[in-house]
Chain A
Amino acid sequence: MSRLGKIARRSFLIGSVAVAGGVAFGTYSYRKPVENPLLQDLPDGHAAITPYVRIDATGITLITPRADLGQGAYSVQAALIAEELDVTLDQIRVDPGPPSPAYYNGKVAAEGFPLAATDDGFLARNGRAFGDVVAKLMGLQITGGSSTVADAFDKLRMAGAVARETLILAASQQSGVPRSRLTTRDGAVILPDGGTLSYVSLAPVAAGLDPVTDVTLRDPADWRYLGKAMQRLDIVAKSTGTQAYGIDMQLDGMVHATVRTNPRMGGEMRGYDARAAEKMRGVIKIVPIIGGAGVIADNTWRAFAAADAIDFDWGPAPYPATSDGMWEEVGASFTRDRRDSRFRNDGDVDAALKDAKMIEAEYRIPYLAHAPLEPMTATVLLKDGRLDIWTATQIPRFMEQAAADLTGLDVADIHLHVLAAGGSFGRRLEDDYVRQTIELAMAMEGTPVKMTWRREEDMTHDFPRTLQISRARGAVRDGKVAALDLKIAALSTTASQTARLNQPVPGPDVAIVAGAWDQPFAIPDYRVSGYRVPAMVPVSSWRSVGASGNGFLHDGFLDELIHAAGADPLAERIRLCWHAPSRKVLKAVGEMSDWGSDPGPDRGRGVAFTLSFGVPVAEVVEVTNTPDGIRIDKVFVAAEVGRVIDPVNFENQVMGGVIWGLGHAMNCELTYDDGLPEQTNFDAYEGMRLYQTPEIIVRGLENTGTVRGIGEPPVPPAAPALANAIFAATGQRIRELPLNKHIDFV
């Protein structure tokens, strides 16, 4: 094999890195191939060619290690493999596979480094490659950061191609026909005489071969699945009630359970009185767990009812007890001491603002719960020194380690079965609910325990998105935006979350300023500073993470400056934008929305732009100011994603992201009193409903060639586009979310 072949083979599992030129940081431990988890205990007659393809007598299974939280990830991952492997989608099964370092996600950690996605310089490239190294060494197998498609695009296609070429080699050995005269189609190798050898029949031969790694990926012009609408693999199950989610787990002899811990997150449990609960019908056992107690019963509702009957003595919250107290703490964080980052500092903002007529504003955004519609749930069985976990998760590897730590078992004796999730939006990056269920299972050895949180438990233990305050100053000159100084104070999501994963990340937290410091605008004097608020309610990643709020803080104030300059909101953003793909996105949304035409009486149009996760997105919202309040009529979205892998799924993700962004901006917040979140169910945390849903018109641009995920980037511009549209329609500038604190919606 040529030297090039050797390198390709060694770095095969990290194809995206090889393509991205991560060689600059190449070290031996980095280059060492990770073990292939499917080669362990592989029965005879099975061939595991790569960690992504398994072929045995029962058929072809594609391993799709990124969780499907509703974003269609299983289908996209399967299509990437199938395209190169040359199988039809009805010939394959998908399996999330066992947790393994081989399925590390190089793109998630890359988002943790302060490198603007627009910066193609040496530092940016190396920084991203360094992210890959860290992710690999940590064995991250995380779903998040809109990274699935970006990470998988090369890696999974290459996996499919290697499998295909190895099967061709096997067919060649079996038939005596040279490889060059063999082709493939629909799960079989085609012989020159038209005869076929199925992949399944070739699997035992292929098992004995070294994988062929000098492969060429197919020309996109020849693609059969990618770039075209495919039927999601789970669509029939999800339309017939037959998709099994974590909450639907059923096992022989299984019992039902629920838990309660202090609704003042992190507060202690001083004790509880369960005498009344113990006597209730169906109650099997009441089990103390860390920070609370669980009820095991023969029916979930009976467990809920008994948990309600337990009299807990909860300690106070380890954070300010009221929202007012929390806002005070955030507001007091704009100090030198608490300054966390200043990744952007162009020109001389202080000098520019000194002699100018200064425009100032303060913005606020609240804590927000993820509240996926399926509450947190897990099923666990501890039996004969083996622990089985059935649940939906974005962090399988961390979860296994946590289970091992909790039970004292070896990681090899922990078996995690990943089930479909009824939504996540970042919530399933935490494993608290699984650890609680493990504690219950340890008290019920030999009996499977399904634990389900009540919605109220879910809402009060959500690890919400951080609250934030921004203080912005700016100036305009000659009808143009001249200076922008943005200070953002927030809790550190990264510190909160990685501490719980035992993977603390030192240094500044990019999440505090993501979606603000890294925007592609050439404002002459331009500064973005992050301030870290001391820990309060523990927080975590919420669909689009830091950018979810910073889009509103940055673009909302930019809109104010543009209006102050008397410039056109779209034209001025385009003028300020130095990044060609972002400019195209802005121009596209202008054309789609017929920007500049008269919107009609009592109507207004707002535009907003945020670049996040490497994806520039521009949105135009059109509203009508009716006597009953604001009605959102239409939303136009243009996004640059390099390549649209599946147009239907793409449109679904964009629409879902826009509705997520608008719905929370309209009416959602978590406020606190007596240390307790005041919103505990959907009656007080509605989001958008169908009657409020606007028409959403979506366009995917494919100018950069770099494949990016779309699950999160449509979220950040939605709130500012809506607020900017409300300003255009009413003259009312709203600087606080949710907007319904200041204006009614139809």
Chain B
Amino acid sequence: MQLTVNGTTHTIDVEEDMPLLWVLRDELGLTGPKYGCGISQCGACTVHIDGEAVRSCSIAAADVWGSVTTIEGLGTPDALHAVQAAWVEHQVAQCGYCQSGQIMAAAALLTDTPDPNDAEIDDAMSANLCRCGTYPRIRAAVKTAAAKLRGT
């Protein structure tokens, strides 16, 4: 099976039904996507497939239809993506465990909807749980990132 992740194509030998999350974490060593629930309820495992936000715990490796981007492929500490820069500026993270998924969800939202209103932010971000309760700062950071990406 072939899988393109963050621009690199890997040949992997796994069961067809192994969830993408565990391919990424245990086969490819990409630990940015996190395991929280395994049943599409928390969003900690969110990655992009062809730019769309997907819960990697709940998609089988064989069903991945396009190229995968994980938080590691979005930006790095030396070259932050605008969403990550906004997350740093607003000091969103507490334990930080949910934040890879939150950032990937926000980045996908802003690609589709560059100027989201509050309801659109609520819709796109409410599938991601944060047990630490960083939601107010997530809201603010999404708006900052949106403004920055629009160049305003």
Residues of chain A touching chain B, judged by Cβ–Cβ distance below 8 Å, are 69-72, 229, 231-232, 234-245, 247-248, 250, 256, 281, 298-302, 304, 371-375, 420-425, 452, 454-455, 648-649, 652-653, 655-660, 663, 681-683, 686-691, 693, 695-696
Chain B, 87-135, CB within 8 A of any chain A CB: 87-88, 91-100, 103, 121-123, 125-126, 128-135
Give 20 A-B contacts (CB < 8 Å), ordered by A residue.
A232-B93, A235-B87, A240-B76, A240-B80, A241-B33, A242-B72, A245-B34, A247-B31, A299-B14, A300-B22, A301-B19, A374-B95, A375-B35, A655-B133, A657-B133, A659-B135, A660-B133, A682-B42, A691-B122, A691-B125
- B39 contact from A298, A683, A687, A691, Cβ within 8 A: A683
Q: Once the chains bind, are A241 and B122 in contact (CB under 8 Å)?
A: no
Q: What residue in chain B is nearest A297 (Cβ atoms)? A: B26
- B126 contact from A69, A70, A229, A689, Cβ within 8 A: A689
Q: Once the chains bind, are A681 and B93 in contact (CB under 8 Å)?
A: no
B2 beta carbon closer than 8 Å to chain A: no
Chain B, 11-45, CB within 8 A of any chain A CB: 14-15, 18-19, 21-22, 25-27, 29, 31-39, 41-42, 44
Q: Once the chains bind, are A373 and B95 in contact (CB under 8 Å)?
A: yes
Q: A242-B32, A682-B41 are in contact. Are A236 and B135 (CB under 8 A)?
A: no
- B34 contact from A232, A242, A422, Cβ within 8 A: A422
Which residues of the other chain, B, contact A693 by a CB distance below 8 angstroms? 133, 135-136, 139
- B36 contact from A72, A374, A695, Cβ within 8 A: A374
CB distance from A651 to the nearest CB of B (A): 9
Chain B interface SS verdict (over half): loop
Cα-based distance from A689 to B135 in the complex (angstroms): 8
Which residues of the other chain, B, contact A235 by a CB distance below 8 angstroms? 87-88, 91, 93
Q: What residue in chain A is nearest B25 (Cβ atoms)? A: A300
Q: What residue in chain B is nearest A714 (Cβ atoms)? A: B133
B7 beta carbon closer than 8 Å to chain A: no
Number of interface residues of B (CB under 8 A): 60
- A652 contact from B27, B29, B38, B134, Cβ within 8 A: B134
Which residues of the other chain, B, contact A652 by a CB distance below 8 angstroms? 91, 94, 134, 137
B54 beta carbon closer than 8 Å to chain A: no
Q: A301-B18, A655-B136, A690-B138 are in contact. Are A248 and B31 (CB under 8 A)?
A: yes
Q: What residue in chain A is nearest B97 (Cβ atoms)? A: A422
Q: Once the chains bind, are B36 and A373 in contact (CB under 8 Å)?
A: yes
Cα-based distance from A239 to B129 in the complex (angstroms): 16
Which residues of the other chain, B, contact A454 by a CB distance below 8 angstroms? 38
Q: Once the chains bind, are A659 and B129 in contact (CB under 8 Å)?
A: no
Q: Once the chains bind, are A70 and B71 in contact (CB under 8 Å)?
A: no
Which residues of the other chain, B, contact A373 by a CB distance below 8 angstroms? 34, 36, 42, 44, 95, 97-98, 129-132
Kindly name the residue among A237, A256, A374 whose own CB sees the greatest number of chain B CB atoms within 10 A.
Answer: A374
Q: Once the chains bind, are B34 and A247 in contact (CB under 8 Å)?
A: yes
CB distance from B12 to the nearest CB of A (A): 11
Q: Once the chains bind, are B26 and A301 in contact (CB under 8 Å)?
A: yes
Cα-based distance from A655 to B34 in the complex (angstroms): 24
B151 beta carbon closer than 8 Å to chain A: no
Q: A236-B88, A452-B35, A690-B139 are in contact. Are A70 and B94 (CB under 8 A)?
A: yes
Q: Once the chains bind, are A372 and B26 in contact (CB under 8 Å)?
A: no
Kindly name the residue among A234, A235, A302 whose own CB sees the greatest number of chain B CB atoms within 10 A.
Answer: A235
Cα-based distance from A72 to B92 in the complex (angstroms): 11
Which residues of the other chain, B, contact A420 by a CB distance below 8 angstroms? 95-96
Q: What residue in chain B is nearest A299 (Cβ atoms)? A: B26
Q: Once the chains bind, are A690 and B126 in contact (CB under 8 Å)?
A: yes
> Which 5 A-B pairs give the minimum distances between C-beta atoms?
A70-B95, A241-B32, A422-B97, A238-B96, A659-B133
Cα-based distance from A71 to B96 in the complex (angstroms): 10
B75 beta carbon closer than 8 Å to chain A: yes
Q: A301-B18, A690-B126 are in contact. Are A681 and B84 (CB under 8 A)?
A: no
Cα-based distance from A422 to B80 in the complex (angstroms): 22
Q: Once the chains bind, are B25 and A240 in contact (CB under 8 Å)?
A: no
Kindly name the residue among A300, A655, A691 whose own CB sees the greatest number of chain B CB atoms within 10 A.
Answer: A691
Which residues of the other chain, A, contact B123 by a CB distance below 8 angstroms? 691
Q: What residue in chain B is nearest A254 (Cβ atoms)? A: B26
B144 beta carbon closer than 8 Å to chain A: no
Cα-based distance from A244 to B25 in the complex (angstroms): 12
- B31 contact from A250, A256, A301, A425, Cβ within 8 A: A250
Cα-based distance from A55 to B47 in the complex (angstroms): 41
CB distance from B13 to the nearest CB of A (A): 10
Which residues of the other chain, A, contact B99 by a CB distance below 8 angstroms? 238-239
Cα-based distance from A92 to B99 in the complex (angstroms): 25
CB distance from B67 to the nearest CB of A (A): 18
Cα-based distance from A248 to B27 in the complex (angstroms): 13
Q: Once the chains bind, are A689 and B132 in contact (CB under 8 Å)?
A: no
Q: What residue in chain A is nearest B41 (Cβ atoms)? A: A682
Cα-based distance from A160 to B125 in the complex (angstroms): 42
Q: Once the chains bind, are B129 and A241 in contact (CB under 8 Å)?
A: no
Cα-based distance from A683 to B147 in the complex (angstroms): 34
Which residues of the other chain, B, contact A452 by a CB distance below 8 angstroms? 35
Q: A374-B34, A682-B41 are in contact. Are A240 and B77 (CB under 8 A)?
A: yes
CB distance from A299 to the nearest CB of B (A): 4
Which residues of the other chain, B, contact A689 by a CB distance below 8 angstroms? 126, 129, 135
Cα-based distance from A109 to B131 in the complex (angstroms): 27
Q: Once the chains bind, are B95 and A69 in contact (CB under 8 Å)?
A: yes
Q: Once the chains bind, are A256 and B26 in contact (CB under 8 Å)?
A: yes
CB distance from A242 to the nearest CB of B (A): 6
Which residues of the other chain, B, contact A682 by a CB distance below 8 angstroms? 36-37, 39, 41-42, 129
Q: A250-B29, A689-B126, A696-B136 are in contact. Are A237 and B77 (CB under 8 A)?
A: yes
Cα-based distance from A251 to B125 in the complex (angstroms): 34
Cα-based distance from A234 to B33 in the complex (angstroms): 17
Can you add 16 more A-B contacts, CB < 8 Å, to A239-B87, A690-B130? A70-B97, A236-B77, A239-B84, A245-B34, A247-B34, A256-B26, A373-B34, A373-B97, A374-B97, A422-B96, A452-B35, A653-B94, A682-B42, A687-B131, A688-B133, A689-B126
Q: What residue in chain B is nearest A455 (Cβ atoms)? A: B37
Q: Once the chains bind, are A421 and B95 in contact (CB under 8 Å)?
A: yes
Kindly name the residue among B29, B91, B122, B134 whose own CB sees the greatest number of chain A CB atoms within 10 A.
Answer: B91
- A423 contact from B25, B31, B95, Cβ within 8 A: B95
Which residues of the other chain, A, contact B131 by a CB distance below 8 angstroms? 371-373, 423, 425, 660, 687
Cα-based distance from A687 to B93 in the complex (angstroms): 18
Kindly name the residue among A301, A454, A681, A688 whose own CB sees the greatest number of chain B CB atoms within 10 A.
Answer: A301
Chain B, 32-65, CB within 8 A of any chain A CB: 32-39, 41-42, 44
Q: What residue in chain A is nearest B76 (Cβ atoms)? A: A240
Which residues of the other chain, A, contact B103 by a CB distance below 8 angstroms? 239, 241
Which residues of the other chain, A, contact B139 by a CB distance below 8 angstroms? 690, 693
Q: Once the chains bind, are A681 and B72 in contact (CB under 8 Å)?
A: no
Q: Once the chains bind, are A691 and B42 in contact (CB under 8 Å)?
A: no
Cα-based distance from A301 to B58 in the complex (angstroms): 12
CB distance from A466 to the nearest CB of B (A): 20
CB distance from A686 to the nearest CB of B (A): 8
Q: Once the chains bind, are B94 and A690 in contact (CB under 8 Å)?
A: no
Cα-based distance from A454 to B37 in the complex (angstroms): 8
Cα-based distance from A649 to B132 in the complex (angstroms): 12
Q: Once the chains bind, are A71 and B94 in contact (CB under 8 Å)?
A: yes
Q: What residue in chain B is nearest A453 (Cβ atoms)? A: B35
Q: A235-B88, A250-B29, A691-B126 are in contact. Are A656 and B36 (CB under 8 A)?
A: no
Which residues of the other chain, B, contact A423 by a CB distance below 8 angstroms? 94-95, 97, 131-132
Cα-based distance from A659 to B138 in the complex (angstroms): 13
Which residues of the other chain, A, contact B96 by a CB distance below 8 angstroms? 70, 234, 237-239, 243, 420, 422
CB distance from B72 to the nearest CB of A (A): 6
Q: Once the chains bind, are A241 and B71 in contact (CB under 8 Å)?
A: yes
Which residues of the other chain, A, contact B22 by a CB distance below 8 angstroms? 299-301
Kindly name the residue among A649, A656, A687 whose own CB sees the greatest number of chain B CB atoms within 10 A.
Answer: A656
Q: A239-B99, A240-B71, A281-B15 are in contact. Are A300 and B136 (CB under 8 A)?
A: no
